[in-house]
A = this chain, B = another copy of it.
Amino acid sequence: MTLALQPAFTLTVDLAEPREVGRTLAGHRRVIPILGGTVTGPALTGEVLPGGADWNLVRPDGAIHVWARYELRTTEGFVVSVTNEGLGEPGKPIPTRPVFEVPTAGPAWLSVGFFLGELRLGDHPGQVRIAVSQVIPG
């Protein structure tokens, strides 16, 4: 494996109270709405827009499955749509793979790159922080 992880930016996301679906065929589902947040460098800055959610699942085997869809606005004014899926263990940071849909005039590197995120608790309850790195093939 010669892949390298190059730090790109951090998403700090404020979350609303979860809405509980409860136990389903897939596990325990709760929907966690996104209130907004920030995008801080080095490679991208801007804000996380309110709207969207993490359709979060605790699977029967205990694994936590993250599936979030929401939008960013870069400092330059481009709106970028994010789909961030991850899988992890309770009580630990959760690895994710964020995918970015970008307007054609916007930051194309977000669209063609492959990224890895690390989602962890933020500074206060109801906040998470996702450190996003670009995966660089060797």
Contact = CB atoms under 8 A, between A and B. Distances in A.
Interface of A: 1-3, 5, 7, 19-26, 29, 31, 33, 49, 51-53, 55, 59-63, 69, 71, 79-81, 86-89, 92-97, 101-105, 108, 111-114, 116, 118, 131, 133, 135, 137-138
Q: How many copies does the complex hold?
A: 4
A130 B52 CA distance: 21
Contacts of A114: 86-88, 94-96
Given A1-B7, A2-B93, A25-B101, 16 more contacts: A3-B133, A19-B49, A21-B80, A21-B101, A22-B104, A23-B105, A25-B59, A25-B111, A26-B26, A86-B114, A88-B114, A94-B114, A94-B137, A95-B114, A116-B135, A118-B137
A113 B87 CA distance: 7
A19 B79 CA distance: 8
A61 B25 contact: yes
17 contacts: A3-B118, A23-B103, A23-B105, A24-B81, A24-B104, A25-B101, A29-B81, A33-B51, A51-B53, A52-B52, A61-B111, A87-B113, A87-B114, A88-B137, A94-B137, A116-B116, A118-B138
